[in-house]
Amino acid sequence: MSHPPSQTSSRDGYWFEHLNDDIALVRDGRQVRLARLQPPWLVVDQTIATLIVSSGWPGRLWRARVTELGDMSGLVANPGYWRAAAMELLEELPLSVLFGAHGERVVALLEQIQALSRTQAECLAANLDPDAGHAYGRAWLRWSEAQGQQRSTPADDWEGTLAAPGARGKDKSPIHSGFLLVHDQLRRRALALDGDQAIVIETDEDGETEEMLAPLWQDVSDALLYAAMAQGAPQYVDAGDEAALMRAWRACYGQR
């Protein structure tokens, strides 16, 4: 489902309203503005494909018209979004719009993550198909080729990818920002269930440290990303790869 910007305004776009956002707003019907004319600004994306959602999920999605710009200085030319000080809410959209034509399936998967138990997590991790990572990479490769990329990254190099630039427009993935959100929500759930033990700190040869999911939770993340690909972007998944991608999910949740 796609909602192109109206031709009547050059500043029609999309705003994701974070439910736990602490930005002070003044509302008057469909008119929304910052209580104070200062950062952080409201961000209105020009297309669904550029919109990133993390904290505040599930939130609300609006088609919006920027009526007063915030400070746009310091941005690259045509950044793909506006910093807004005020806007008009034109229409509320279903959250599934965020993730493409099969977005309702991604929304259902995200709902499962929020209710995930440790027993279900262990089930997902234990039932990963050994070929699922390759299948995930092949789906990414098909998507990248569909974007018109002249030099396609080999399928194996796509394994574990959450987002990548497209050749046309600013698509991040076959389900827009869906993989980023799946990983983010799983990380939050892992911390809720296991606390600090859900995270491990890895140090590279230069002494740089990086937080990583503990092995169990990394496997769970992979299982959920694979299911999100199969359910949210079936047009890039062949029959054999679909079975591999969905193996862990079906072992724990049945035929969905």
Residues 82 and 69: beta-carbon distance below 8 Å: yes
Q: Nearest CA to 238 among 249, 248, 229?
A: 229
What lies within 8 Å, CB to CB, of 79 at 6+ separation is none
Calpha distance 202→140 (Å, rounded): 27
Beta strands 199-203; 209-213: pairing state: antiparallel
Per-residue model confidence (pLDDT) at position 173: 94
DSSP for residue 206 = T
Residue 113: C-alpha distances to residues 106, 135, 185 (Å): 11, 22, 7
What lies within 8 Å, CB to CB, of 251 at 6+ separation is 123, 124, 127
Per-residue model confidence (pLDDT) at position 168: 43
Per-residue model confidence (pLDDT) at position 9: 59
Classify 34 as helix, strand or coil: strand
Q: Is residue 193 within a helix (H) or strand (E), and if so which, with residue range?
A: helix 178-194
Other Cβ atoms closer than 10 A to 228: 28
Residues 68 and 86: beta-carbon distance below 8 Å: yes
Per-residue model confidence (pLDDT) at position 19: 80
Domain limits of the chain? 12-93, 99-253
What lies within 8 Å, CB to CB, of 131 at 6+ separation is 244
Helices (H) and strands (E) in the chain, counts: 6, 8
Other Cβ atoms closer than 10 A to 118: 13
Per-residue model confidence (pLDDT) at position 127: 99
The pTM is what? Answer: 0.90
DSSP for residue 153 = P
Give pLDDT tens digits along the chain (256 positions). 444 444 445 899 999 998 877 889 999 999 999 999 999 999 999 999 989 887 789 999 999 999 999 999 999 888 899 999 999 999 999 999 999 999 999 999 999 999 999 999 999 999 999 999 999 999 999 998 888 776 667 777 888 899 986 544 468 899 999 999 999 999 999 999 999 999 999 988 888 899 999 999 999 999 999 999 999 999 999 999 999 999 999 999 997 6
